[in-house]
Chain A
Amino acid sequence: MSEIASHVAPPLPAAADKFKFYGLWAGAAAALLLLPQIFTSGGSLTTFSLIGISIIFSLSYNILLGQTGMLSFGHAVYYGLGGFLAIHAINIITANKLPIPLPLVPLIGGLTGLFFAALLGWVSTKRSGTAFAMISLGVAELIASSALILRTFFGGEAGISANRTKLLRLFGWSFGPQIQIYYLVAAWTLIAVIAMYALTRTPLGRMCNAVRDNPERVQFVGYNPHTVRYLAFCFSGFFAGIAGALAAINFEIANSAYLGAVQSGTVLFATYIGGVGFFIGPIVGAIFVTFLSLGLSDLTPVWQLYFGLIFIAVVVFAPGGITGLLMMHRPLLKAGTLTQMLPSYLMALVPTLAMIVGLILSIETIVHYTVNPGDDSHIKAFGVSFDAASPTIWAMAAILLIGGFGVARKTWTWVGHAWDGATSVAREKGIAA
């Protein structure tokens, strides 16, 4: 863990790297602008908007988990409250015809998140570790339950809805069409990501890392770890509030599901799967998990099973998250030994894929026989149709699964050897793995 953590705050870029650094941000901005030109359907615009929201939310969560080492089970509280306040703000602005345009509403959500984080944070952050995790769980349950009791503010389980198009218009943008919402989310995502990145470079950001790694030492040099945790918590609440407000604007509704355990769990998933040790990790995780949660249920009825298996696989095989997995290859790339790996990767990929296909075939066939025994046996899963009643399919599934597993085990040992070879070459060249 500590080895990965050292990547969080690399030294300030040298002057030569600065061009590359700003180029990266400019490239990201350009990509965000161009994306809707390539994928134009309403569904993909919604997906992109959700990904943007999820990126802000996951990054805000990583201020706690990755940077300050605090595991929270209730981060959705600040997200949800931000969302609710944003909806109320839209309704109040519309009713009183206040000269506030929609793009500023996320700021209201952010300030709400900040306010509640500041309010609830002081007692929560007194301790770190399990005590913090459990307090966050308790607070989250309390607030989520109160949302159903305080009906006037939270609107019961139906929630509060609003119409985003009735606010002061800028440049003739009504924010009715999804494309305009997409640009709004994209702009806020870019701002928030830059802000959160900048935060990691401030002395506070560094102190957060220090508190995570060694709170006692932090005390010795004259800082109060509690204060540092509290400040990190407040910032995290602020950005979570922005994400919540954007979600509320996107859906034009806020309800108790925003505050609930599922939302808190999803952000923990996304952040961890992406990789908590890297700034970019939660971004990757947000994209991955959003795609997974939106797309998987279309591909197969038992998506939860695959969802669970994928998470188990990532946790077991890629403890640094997806980003950690990719970043492992950086020394090889620098040493130019990455090409040594490719043949063994390709060799391992074939049986592994075979094993996965076999697994999917077996699962889907079993599901057909236990869940829908009376239905037509020609089933479709992951976009491929096959006959679950045919013995050829059964034999194929068994061969792929068992054979694939056997061969895959062998080939991954070769990958291991190739890896050792490639890294030792890299190490000889003086590039730290």
Chain B
Amino acid sequence: MRKLMTAAAFALPIFGALAMSGGAATAQETLKIGYIDPLSGGGASVGEVGLKTFQFLADELNAKGGIQGKKVEIVPLDNKTNPQESLIQAQKAIDAGVRYITQGNGSAVAGALSDFVTKYNERNPGKEVLFFNYAAVDPVLTNDKCSFWHFRWDANSDIKMEALTNYMKTAPAIKNVYLINQDYSFGQSVRTTARAMLAAKRPDIKIVGDELHPLLKITDFAPYVAKIKASGADTVVTGNWGQDFALLLKAAADAGLKVGWYTYYAGGTGGPTAVKQANLNHQVFAVGEGIPNVDVPGAQAVEKALRAKYDFSLFYPRAVNEMRMLAAAADKAKSIDPVKVAFALEGMEFDVLHGGKGVMRKDDHQFFQPIYIASFGERTEKEPFDEEKTGWGWKLVARIDTPATMLPTTCKMERPN
């Protein structure tokens, strides 16, 4: 009996705490940005890095007096990488006075949020909310399913592939390419665009394999590596991330597979560790909008400051661009009203963190910026920064300028009056 009573005592304070938390204040002296990403569960390691990056950037803006005199506050909201949960969190954020939400992990979540924000704004005129996407790269978000209320700062996967293939066409050593990707929308789009673009730019390259494997379910990649090896590939193109990337590289290193790896997410959390463990010195290439070792003083200063504060590097240069552009757009509109800011952002040109001009294209709200290809391995004195305490760092291989990354869009945007 006694034990049963204890449980009652356990339950009571929780209800009390829940009751207290009900009345969230809706102060307007701050500009609140709802950060909706996984902060618990499997995706938490990535979500946490993003959160700290945004908080760092908010501090940076606040040190300069905030946006339009308003203090910037990042409101962390844990979506557990679940689209439904994200919508609940978005609703909660809106209740708490958030008019800007940002998210990046998972195109499924981004799709759901973009859809939610569009419907919400349609049904609640005057209370519009903007959705800033900093990392979800499914092309459909700025094509068939584009929305006026959605802005994307990351290059979508087609743009990255455009940049990657523009580099690959200049590398004559590449003859036999193997595609291995995760079996979901992102992996599928990497695979189809890689096929199409390689066929157009380097018809002599043979696609010797095209594999899709289930997302985050494989513990042993040895059979896949056996297939790659049997195909005689000299280059592997993969969009894999997280443990699917790490385990693939480990299995390849174990089996002694010697190929060039063209990847999207070798720079993601755990990626550099995996490359170092597999001992693939400058054989792994990654495509992205900036690397720590680009010789641009402004970028290196941010990199240094972030590393001094946290134990990770700047994974999201696009987050820097996002926050700084938000400030610039608010200044341009002389308001933090989301609708005015949205119009100010359209077509806005901006000097991106790693140098060069970027532009937020009006037609589809996709940001275009210079794209970098880098390889990971031993450093020279030109590369001051290493990654994840491995001692190895990113070396610049190629830079593709903004015009060479422009792709057409199928977006037919509905604009508010």
Contacts and interface: CB of A to CB of B under 8 A. Distances in A.
Decide if A and B touch, CB cutoff 8 A. Answer: yes
Interface stretch (B89-97, B288-296, B357-365): B89-97
Contact of A253 (B1, B83, B95): B83
A338 B8 CA distance: 15
B115 A292 contact: no
A190 interface: no
A301 interface: yes
Interface string B54-77: 000000000000000000000001
Given A41-B95, A42-B91, A316-B3, A297 B18 contact: no
Nearest to A373: B311
A252 B115 contact: yes
Interface stretch (A123-131, A132-140, A153-161): A153-161
By size class, the interface of chain B is 35 or more
Interface string A271-315: 000000000000000001001101101110101100000100110
Contacts of A324: 4
B2 A419 contact: yes
A195 B102 CA distance: 43
A298 B10 CA distance: 19
A328 interface: yes
Interface in A204-258: 247, 251-253, 255, 257-258
B404 interface: no
A430 interface: no
B226 to A, nearest CB: 23
Interface stretch (A10-18, A85-93, A348-356): A348-356
Contacts of B87: 251, 253
Contact of A43 (B92, B108, B112, B310): B92
Contacts of A408: 6
Contact of B5 (A257, A295, A374, A415): A415
A409 to B, nearest CB: 9
B29 to A, nearest CB: 19
B17 A299 contact: yes
Contact of B40 (A44, A148, A247, A297): A297
A253 B112 contact: yes
B9 interface: yes
By size class, the interface of chain A is 35 or more
A176 B119 CA distance: 9
B10 A310 contact: yes
B14 A310 contact: yes
A21 interface: no
Interface in B238-285: none
Contacts of B22: 44
B409 interface: no
A416 B11 contact: no
B321 to A, nearest CB: 25
B387 interface: no
A224 to B, nearest CB: 38
| 5 tightest Cβ-Cβ pairs between the two chains A and B | A317-B7, A318-B7, A43-B95, A416-B2, A352-B9
25 contacts: A50-B88, A148-B184, A148-B215, A157-B108, A176-B119, A176-B123, A251-B84, A252-B115, A252-B119, A253-B84, A253-B87, A257-B82, A294-B92, A295-B18, A297-B40, A298-B77, A303-B40, A310-B10, A318-B3, A325-B7, A353-B13, A383-B20, A408-B6, A412-B5, A415-B5
Interface of A: 41-44, 46, 50, 145, 148-149, 156-159, 161, 163, 165, 176-178, 247, 251-253, 255, 257-258, 262, 288, 291-292, 294-295, 297-299, 301, 303-304, 310, 313-314, 316-320, 322, 324-325, 328, 345, 348-349, 352-353, 356-357, 374, 382-383, 408, 412-413, 415-416, 419-420
